């Protein structure tokens, strides 16, 4: 499973990229606003930090407006992936852009039927929001299972990008189901490294090493 980080914080992206575990980045208008920087500038900088896809979201709601914004965004770097909402105009834009060879991430997916439509429109990635789905009384991971089954039934090439990931259990379940990608905030990714027994083991080794009086 590919790991994307969901942030516009370039320092966090650079640090995680240095681990060799980062396969891409997702951003959205809310994350850009939190970064407090120029949208085009920060997107260009992020694209230089990773080799994989960097999702940059359009803010227009109509097809013509989305295409205009996409034209600006895809000129920033070859690894820009245009992010569009799962609406009629969003899928029209998806079809047009992927037909020209541009990567498209269809976002704000909350049903398997929506995911089916996105795949038929040629989406490179579909982003089901599991955490928000859970918040509203649904089972986010059951949605991922349904999408995986449908995509496998018809051999769709669209990759399932599990979004709105809140904790390590979401990551584990997404991997068990066979999702192609998960995107999570930096804190969630860093949390995957931690385990109380790992910390305890390191403490014990260091204590024993200190008793030897040696150094390397």
pLDDT in tens, 160-210: 999 999 999 999 999 999 999 999 999 999 999 999 999 999 999 999 999
Pick from 29-43, 97-111, 121-135, 186-200: least confident: 29-43
Q: Regarding the domain with residue range 2-212, which homologous superfamily does it belong to in the CATH classification?
A: Aldolase class I (3.20.20.70)
* pLDDT at residue 49 in the model: 97
Residue of 2, 75, 83, 120 with catalytic role: 83
Residue 10 burial (CB count, 10 A): 16
Give the other-Cβ count within 10 Å of 20's Cβ. 7
For residue 75, indicate whether it is catalytic.
no
Domain chopping of the chain, boundaries: 2-212
pTM of the model: 0.94
**What is the pLDDT averaged over residues 145-150?**
98
Helix (H, G, I), strand (E, B) or coil at 19: coil
pLDDT tens, position by position, 73-103: 999 999 999 999 999 999 999 999 999 999 9
Between helix 168-177 and helix 140-154 the angle, nearest 10°, is: 20
């Amino acid at each position: 499973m590919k790991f994307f980080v969901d942030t516009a914080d370039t320092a966090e992206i650079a640090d995680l990229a240095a681990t060799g575990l980062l396969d891409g980045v997702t951003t959205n208008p809310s994350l850009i606003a939190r970064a407090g920087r120029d949208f085009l500038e920060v997107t260009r900088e992020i694209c230089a930090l990773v080799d994989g896809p960097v999702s940059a979201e359009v803010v227009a709601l109509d097809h013509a407006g989305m295409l205009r914004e996409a034209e600006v965004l895809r000129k920033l770097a070859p690894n820009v992936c245009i992010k569009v909402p799962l609406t009629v105009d969003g899928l029209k834009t998806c079809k047009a852009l992927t037909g020209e060879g541009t990567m498209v991430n269809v976002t704000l997916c909350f049903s398997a039927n929506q995911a089916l439509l996105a795949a038929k429109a040629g989406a490179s990635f579909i982003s089901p929001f599991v955490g928000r789905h859970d918040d509203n009384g649904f089972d986010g991971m059951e949605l991922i299972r349904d999408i995986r089954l449908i995509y496998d039934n018809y051999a769709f090439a669209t990759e399932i990008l599990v979004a709105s990931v809140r904790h390590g259990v979401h990551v584990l379940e997404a991997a068990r189901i066979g999702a192609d990608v998960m995107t999570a905030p930096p804190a969630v990714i860093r949390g995957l490294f931690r385990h109380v027994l790992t910390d305890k083991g390191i403490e014990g080794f260091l204590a024993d090493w200190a008793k030897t009086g040696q150094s390397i």
